[in-house]
Amino acid sequence: MIKLPPPSYEFDQVFSTCLEGLDKKPEFKARLSAGKAEIDAQLALYAEKAPNGELYTLVPVVREHGADPIIVSDLKKSELLNLYEAHLRGKEKPGRGIYNELLAAANGTCPYCGGIGRPRNLDHYLPKSKFPQFSLFPKNLVPACRDCNMDGKGQGFSASAEKQIIHPFFDAEHFFREQWIFGTYDPTDEPSGSVDFYAAPPDHWPEVDKERAETHFDDFELGVRYAKEAGARLISLRTQLDNLADLGISSDEISRVLLHPMIENAPHINHWESVMGKAVMEALNNG
C-alpha cells in the first residue's frame, strides 16, 4: 500500500542488457531478438490493462504436466524464465546492475506490506510461472520483502477483478492516500494491551476496490503481521501511557504529546503505527 513511481527502466534497456550476457549462445540470442516484437505486443497489452485494474483478463499459461510450452514466437517458457534467472537476477551478469537498481527504487520499504519489511527480491506481480512473457518487464517487477514475495507461492495473481492485490505502480490513489486499515485497542489484553487490525474500505469506493483492499489485507496476512509490530511497540507505549495517567494528565493532553506525533510521523496513513495511534486515542477518549 505504498505507491511507487513506475520503474525508470524501459523494457528495451533491460532486454538488450540481458542479451549482452548471451554472446556465447548466438542461436538463442538471435531467436530472442526475433521474438521481441511479439513480446512487445504483450507488454503493450499489460500497459493498457494495468491502469484500469484489468490485468486479471490476461490469460495465464496452462500448466501441462512435464510440458514446456511455447510462449511467444518460438520461445519456450523455460527459456524466458532462464533469461530472467540467469541474466537479470544472476549475480555476475550485465543485467544484475539493473536488478539492483529496480530493487533499490523502493527506498528500503516494501510496498505490499506498507513497510514492515525491507525489499529483498523483485516479485513478479503477474507471476513468472504463469506469465513468462512478463518476467523481464520492469513494470511487472515489484520490490518485495521476503514475507510478501508471492512468486514462490504461485499467488498474487487472480482471474477475477476483485481478488487482485494492489499494484504499487498502477492502482488508484485512494488505495495509498485514504485510510482503509483500522484497529481496535484492547487495554485489558495482558500484559501491555493489543491492537486488532482490520480492513474497512470507505463506503464511497467502487465495490471491486473494496474487495481488492480486503484481498490484499488477507493475502499478505497484514492483520497478524501488524498486530505483532503493535504488540512490540505497546510494551513501551503502555508504560508511557500509564505513567502520564498516574501524573493526572488528561486524555487530551496525552493524545497531543504522545499519540498525535505517532500518527503524524508514521510513513503513511495505513501504516500500523498510525492506525495503532488512532486506536489507542479512541480508547482513551471513550474510557
Contact residues for Zn ion, defined by CB under 5 A: 110, 112-113, 117, 145, 148
Nearer to Zn ion, 95 or 117 (CB): 117
Nearer to Zn ion, 145 or 283 (CB): 145
Rounded CA separation 202/183 (Å): 15
Asked if 223 and 217 count as a contact pair (C-beta separation under 8 A), the reply is: yes
**CB 88 to Zn ion: min, Å:** 21
Residue 1 CA neighbour count, 13 Å, CB half: 29
Cell of 144: 518485495
**CB 118 to Zn ion: min, Å:** 8
> Omega of the bond prior to 168 within 30 degrees of 0, cis?
no
**CB 58 to Zn ion: min, Å:** 24
Nearer to Zn ion, 39 or 276 (CB): 276
Rounded CA separation 42/161 (Å): 20
Asked if 58 and 45 count as a contact pair (C-beta separation under 8 A), the reply is: yes
Nearer to Zn ion, 87 or 216 (CB): 216
Q: Tell me the backbone φ, ψ of residue 2, rounded to 5 degrees.
A: -105, 125
**CB 56 to Zn ion: min, Å:** 22
Rounded CA separation 150/67 (Å): 23
Nearer to Zn ion, 83 or 145 (CB): 145
**CB 55 to Zn ion: min, Å:** 20
Asked if 267 and 173 count as a contact pair (C-beta separation under 8 A), the reply is: no
